[in-house]
Amino acid sequence: MVVAAAVCPCPPLLVPEVAQGAADELEPLRAACDEAVRALVEAKPDLIVVVGPGPRDAVHEPGATGTFRGYGVPLDVTLGEGTTPADAAPLPLSLTVGAWLLARSGWTGPVRAVEAAEDGDPHTHRARGAEIARWADRVALLVTGDGSARRDVKAPGYLDERAAPLDARIAAALASGDADGFLAGLDRDTARALMVSGRPAWQVLTGAGAGAGAGAGAGAAAGVEAGAGADTGALGHHRLLHDAAPYGVGYFVASWT
């Protein structure tokens, strides 16, 4: 059973060593992520599962590693505690950032990571989520992924006028516990066209049952203010802690407890 979930973005700039001179610009985002992850730990789960997009569907066990060396920083991150298996695949960026956030929280309990294929279909991702929910009596999810990378002319994908309205719907869904099923049904083509990396991971979250039974309804405002939420749904309390696009990429932080 899922008892808590944290949704965080996964830009490498979230890590101060990578951001360097720009580290202070993302401090509000970093603080929101810390708050969301802290809520996971306070829920006293038996297992924390880090979920993020990647090239394939895969499960990564404790000891798997990721690196930020490709960004000019000699920083490696290990998922939980343990020895890296000789045949372990490296963590994709989304899970590397997730493992970094989890280590930053001080969590030392059981952990696994799930890589959700970027081109996978919603049904497959939701089915994986349902499976994850049965991995322990009390499961907490740390879900990583970004909104559209086409929010302005300086964005990685340049400006697309459809990006901001889509991100507004994503923010509203995260604030409501996906009460209207928008995240669960977000299609691959739309996400690909607008460079929304978080789609597969968010769909794993909805499949885990974290949003089942939410009653906030489809009317959640598109421009939900940070901190707003509804005391409804399977996890009871949904809060959107952060919603911004400082580099033309939508970054959301939410806490479902």
pLDDT in tens, 44-62: 999 999 999 999 999 999 9
pLDDT of residue 229: 40
pLDDT band at 90 (very low <50, low <70, confident <90, very high): very high
pTM: 0.90
CB 72 within 8 A of CB 105: no
pLDDT at 76 over 70: yes
pLDDT, mean over the chain: 90
- Percent share of the chain, pLDDT over 90: 82
Report the distance separating Cα 167 and Cα 155, nearest Å.
14
pLDDT digits (tens, 9 = 90+) for 6-50: 999 999 999 999 998 877 889 999 999 999 999 999 999 999 999
Q: Residue 210's pLDDT band (boundaries 50, 70, 90)?
A: low
Among 121, 115, 116, 129, which residue's Cα sits nearest to residue 187? 121
How far apart CA 10 and CA 214 sit, in angstroms, is: 26
Can you point out the beta strands (E) in the chain?
2-8, 47-54, 58-60, 65-67, 76-78, 111-117, 139-144, 229-230, 238-244, 251-256
